[in-house]
Structure 1
Amino acid sequence: MDGFRRDGMVFDVRDGGPPDGEPVVLLHGFPQDATAWAASAAGLHAAGLRTLAPDQRGYSPSARPTGRSAYRVRELTADVLALLDEAGLDSAHVVGHDWGGIVGWALAAWHPERVRTLTALSVPHPAAMVRAMLTSDQALRSYYVGLFQLPFLPERLLLVGGGEPLRRMFLRSDLPRDVCEHYVARMQEPGALSAALAWYRALPLSAHETIGTVRVPTLHLWSTGDAFLGRAATEATRDFVDAPYRLEVLEGVPHWIPELAPERVAELVTEHVRAHG
């Protein structure tokens, strides 16, 4: 499949690997798209796994609704359920990075019957994140979340000079330049940055959508070079998983684990799938 439909929108999907392989859904974050998983997916395909990597809501040009209410977490998880339905899958292994990790946590908590295993890259369980915001330096690390929720101003500031401020922000976080250029170009598409920021702007609307205890086998990957997500929330995450749980720490790797450690991602996800498939 190269796409799926929901509520009149068309989502782009990269479908690869053996069609009869164990299905793995790969969910990207901000400001990524499905290409973030290209190298990891190649390793998963070599291991006999099928991957489905969508450009999520706001990132697929034909699935870019306006208004922040369209980007509540319930809507984001419903998109993945629609992907599974379109692919004829009762369930799949779910791997998410950054915002894709939040969607993964929500899917596993709300729809455990559809999630065979969860792998969360970088992002801790949302309840662990809240705890860490009060007890560690996490609030300082997450300063940009509040800035991104401001109306209009972020777009005006970040897209100046062909997206130069956006480019500098990503390069400072050690995103490789060639990947950075691709993402910055995508964010300059009409409405793309506003749609991506709508994920942040919808956070107050999703505050009542509690993401509770996860009861599916969970692998959590965190990297010590992550400038945005600290150790406190990472270590608290195990308190919110009532199932086999493994934390894997990647030393020195920045936030961009799919792009910078794809071989290790493929290796660990394959092990996780085979252990709990």
Structure 2
Amino acid sequence: MVRSIKLAGFAILLLKPLSSPAENLKPPPSASSERGTTTASLKGGPLRWKNEWTMSPQILRGQPIVRFTEKGSGRYSPFDREVRWNIETIWSAGELFRPLSTERTVTDMAGRPLVKERKSFNFDIGSVDIEREDMGSGSKTRRSLKIPSDTLAADGIAGALRSLPFERSRPVDLHLLSNEPRLYEISFEVRGRERVRVPAGEFECYKVELVPGLGVLNLFRFAIPKAYFWFTVDPPHYWVRYEGLENGRGTPQVVMELTTLERSN
């Protein structure tokens, strides 16, 4: 689910960075550890990749966190071959739900490393440090970006969005750090309820649209493919489906679906 939880950037790579008042999310409504699997297929086409994921509340250095893990394999943008990946993401789960760190390793199918990346968030000073090593080119980069207090990470986002105020009529405005990486202003708007069938079962769901922030690019917002998430109406509002761009500009439109789900205390 972290890839589904992460959902990798969606249409956000097409949006214009902007600024707006902060609106922070609370920790998602679940006290249980979860594990499951997700698949992604081309819209109306074949399977592209699949993963195994976990989501578990823990204590780290005396503070509540939620730890996401993911192991996946298949064809995934921007790679031109089948790859495997491992991701570990930690979010703070105190009064607010915020990303703390993400570590990602991508290998080829034989296990040879291709990319390693780490993001470290520091909301006390409003910045994120990003380290990336590309084994193919031999390059190593490190950079820092300024981030507002309402910034979400792409990794773990579908877990974070469980705490959206689904019954509220107005949009929720937030910032999101994409995997480029760049910071974007976006909003999430509930588009009603639908009955959705996925391999994990049939669920009554809230349909949520990812909407670009307004700005210069709103002149051609019609050209941006729509991106939607579905979350169960029943708490803890599991993510079950996503439709939209796989990883931003120039990547295919995909359908990601929850295939299995297990909970444990």
- Name the one with the larger strand percent: 2
Q: Give the TM-score normalised by the residue count of structure 1.
A: 0.28
- Name the one with the larger helix percent: 1
Q: Give the TM-score normalised by the residue count of structure 2.
A: 0.29
